[in-house]
Amino acid sequence: MRVCLVWKLSAAAGLLVHMTAAAGETVAPDIGGRLEMFVDRFLIERLDNTVLHLHEPRDEGEVLRYDAPWEGNFCAYNTVIYDGTRYRLYYRGKRQHSADGVSEVTCYAESSDGRVWLKPKLGLHEASGTRDNNIILAVAGITHNFSPFLDTRPGVPPGERFKALGGVQNVGGGLYALVSADGIRWKKLQEKPVMTRGAFDSQNVAFWSATEQRYVACFRTFTKGITDANVWKPAGLRSISRADSTDLITWSDPVPTMFDPPQDVHLYISQTHPYFRAPHVWVATAARFMQGRRALTEEEATALKVPKGYSQDVSDSVLLTSRDGRTYQQTFREALIRPSLRLSEWVSRTGYPALNVVPTGPAEMSLYVNQDYTLPTAHLRRYSMRLDGFASVRAPYEGGEMTTIPLRFKGNQLVLNFATSAAGAIRVEIQDSAGKALPGFAAADCVELLGNRLAMPVRWKQGGDLSALASKPIRLRFVMKDADLYALQFILQGAGSNTPIH
């Protein structure tokens, strides 16, 4: 027997929570005018000869080499921020393996397009006998895993436009909060740590959650890692916990996140962030760490000059998503980015993604990955994807269908992000909540969608105006052939940013 999963809004927190509909009950979430990607099964009730397909990012090559004297083989924990005018890159500079906080700095680079990066000479800190460098922080502990974010909270003071967390337990006693007006010059929000329950020895990410109206931090813990006695005791798998705050100073107790299906491998860093076009969906390009799983022979490791102990494990990245901030959907267990033919990508702790997926063109978004960790060739690499193109509902040449759960919307037009082959097509049918086609909106009435578009309006023989259906429970049935459906959105035609992109 097939169980139909549906969703409702939690009145207390304004979050999407998961529930099973009772027999005969119609639960129709209101998706308003939000962009909805097919990165999970949130909207899907039935797939008939169609599948959810994970797309592979395109390797665009090396964009930044960690080659300065204050950088080096152990550079890590990258963050990329796009502020609307420029791209900013933050990363740990570290040449030799050493205890946390020793000989580490935080480095900075900029780009106008996300492709070509420059290291400015900032003159803020001395290193290797010069201030002509790109160092923005040199504070032991904080520089081990400094992770900034652009604060999108309404009314944030200009002097605190950028915020960050950084620190480790064994150097400084925990995580510190920092603020900055320009993203380059930083100061502590207070002189003592704001979080102390955790090891914090990897990248700890934070952001403003518009859904929850509070700051959220996602950081690495271990399953069963925090005891009732407030004692840190690593055990089990490397995993993810969360805490929240209204002021970045006072945080809730850490709560382990859940996984669906359950977690079964180490996740070293989560890189959780609200997707820039649909902030109600959290995207995590997490680093999957396969401890003790070796791909290199001794001869290959020696030829690459892999430091002792760094040829014993392998890593890649996976895509996780969350709609409630407490459960990660592991819709795809396959790798988002596999290590390539380059043997240097099969070294322990390499292939860790930078925080944030960012737009790098009208039809493109990019993510960045730390490659060749521990090696003289250590660098940052860019990978590109279609806008909203993490995954899609895919139909073969023989054709297939996808039907949504009952839903409500706001607006007067439906637009799709899709691609077909020359022989392929998509037709859309609008049904009532019971699954019966509405007059004039049957699949046979739909004007065939053919091509490759980011936001193509759907039309039927009578037109595309859906005003009469707004706020009513409906279902969508997609009849597809040799096609990918990436996302959908109901818009108010001509309403500013919701206007379709052609």
Distance in angstroms (rounded) separating the CA atoms of residues 246 and 234:
28
Please tell me the predicted confidence (pLDDT) of residue 101.
53
Distance in angstroms (rounded) separating the CA atoms of residues 55 and 116:
25
3-state DSSP percent of the chain in helix, strand and coil, to 5: 5, 45, 50
27 pLDDT tier (thresholds 50, 70, 90): confident
Please tell me the predicted confidence (pLDDT) of residue 97.
75
Distance in angstroms (rounded) separating the CA atoms of residues 449 and 271:
36
Please tell me the predicted confidence (pLDDT) of residue 486.
99
Tens-place pLDDT, residues 267-302: 999 999 999 999 999 999 999 999 999 999 999 999
| Cβ atoms of 479 and 442 closer than 8 Å | no
Tens-place pLDDT, residues 174-185: 999 999 999 999
In sequence order, the β-bridge partners of residue 439 are none
In sequence order, the β-bridge partners of residue 274 are 282
Q: Evaluate if residue 241 carries a pLDDT over 70.
A: yes
Please tell me the predicted confidence (pLDDT) of residue 96.
82
Tens-place pLDDT, residues 64-123: 999 999 999 999 999 999 999 999 999 999 988 765 555 899 999 999 999 999 999 999
- Report the pLDDT averaged over residues 193-208: 93
Please tell me the predicted confidence (pLDDT) of residue 8.
32
Distance in angstroms (rounded) separating the CA atoms of residues 82 and 461:
42
Structure tokens of 48? Answer: 């008939």
Tens-place pLDDT, residues 372-431: 999 999 999 999 999 999 999 999 999 999 999 999 999 999 999 999 999 999 999 999
Tens-place pLDDT, residues 462-485: 999 999 999 999 999 999 999 999
Please tell me the predicted confidence (pLDDT) of residue 328.
98
Candidate CATH numbers 1.20.272.10, 2.115.10.20, 2.40.400.10, 3.40.50.1820; the one for domain 66-386: 2.115.10.20
pTM of the model: 0.91
Average pLDDT, the chain: 91
Q: Evaluate if residue 235 carries a pLDDT over 70.
A: no
For 328-377, give the DSSP string: EE----S-SB---S-GGGGSTT--EEPB--EEEETTEEEEEEEESTTSTT
The residue ranges of every structural domain in the chain are 31-50+396-498, 66-386
Tens-place pLDDT, residues 120-137: 999 999 999 999 999 999
495 pLDDT tier (thresholds 50, 70, 90): low
Please tell me the predicted confidence (pLDDT) of residue 9.
31
Q: Evaluate if residue 362 carries a pLDDT over 50.
A: yes
Q: Evaluate if residue 17 carries a pLDDT over 50.
A: no
CA proximity to 202, closest of 337, 78, 66 = 78
Q: Evaluate if residue 234 carries a pLDDT over 60.
A: no
Q: Evaluate if residue 354 carries a pLDDT over 60.
A: yes
Q: Evaluate if residue 323 carries a pLDDT over 80.
A: yes
Distance in angstroms (rounded) separating the CA atoms of residues 248 and 244:
8
Please tell me the predicted confidence (pLDDT) of residue 222.
86
365 pLDDT tier (thresholds 50, 70, 90): very high
| Cβ atoms of 194 and 166 closer than 8 Å | no
Determine how β-strand 258-260 pairs with β-strand 327-329. parallel
DSSP 185: S
Please tell me the predicted confidence (pLDDT) of residue 25.
52
As its CATH architecture, domain 31-50+396-498 has Sandwich (2.60)
∠ CA 365-368-374, rounded to 5° = 170
Tens-place pLDDT, residues 485-494: 999 999 998 7
Please tell me the predicted confidence (pLDDT) of residue 63.
98
Instruction: Mention every residue, 6+ apart, whose C-beta is less than 8 A from residue 203.
Output: 76, 77, 79, 145, 147, 220, 269, 271, 355
